[in-house]
Amino acid sequence: MSTIGHIGNEKYVSFTSVKRNGDAVSLPVWIVQLSANEVGFTTEGNAWKVQRVRANAQVSLQPCDFRGRVLEGSSTVHGTARVATPQENPQELAAVEKAVKKKYGIVAGFVNLSSFLKSVFRRKKSNDAAIIVRLSL
């Protein structure tokens, strides 16, 4: 069973944010521990979850598998999220990217390459971003 202090040790968590209309949206994400009460993950700067966090910072995290199926018996952790981009908080973005690379290794490199190739073929500029969650105690 995961607790607040250990959610960052999970391989995947179900990240739940809220749409403007109040509907909750859950997606599986990688997670890294940044400090005793903060975790984070990287994402595309134009991802819907980034927009939802900007509109409503209240989020929840729960251990899950890579498909987003919540692990039986696991606990939900709540927190307040913020977005880090190259334009706003580049140091925080770099710290999350470094932690992801350290935890997930070569797999993180393949994901980054895939994101880069998508942006090239779609001819859309997609800035990197990180979502950082301060966990509620």
CA dihedral 86, 59, 65, 8 (to 10 degrees): 70
Token output for 71:
């692990």
Domain with residue 107: its CATH number is 2.30.110.10
What pLDDT digit, counting tens, does each position of 46-83 carry? 899 999 999 999 999 999 998 999 999 999 999 999 99
Residue 52: other Cβ atoms inside 10 A? 22
What pLDDT digit, counting tens, does each position of 13-51 carry? 999 999 999 999 999 999 999 999 999 999 988 899 999
- Print the domain residue range for 14: 4-120+129-135
Please give the Cα distance from 131 to 43 (Å, whole number): 7
pTM recorded for the entire structure: 0.83
Q: What is the pLDDT of residue 12?
A: 92
Which H or E run includes 95? helix 90-104
How many distinct structural domains can be found in the chain?
1
Query: Per DSSP, what are the bridge partners of residue 99?
Result: none
Please give the Cα distance from 50 to 116 (Å, whole number): 18
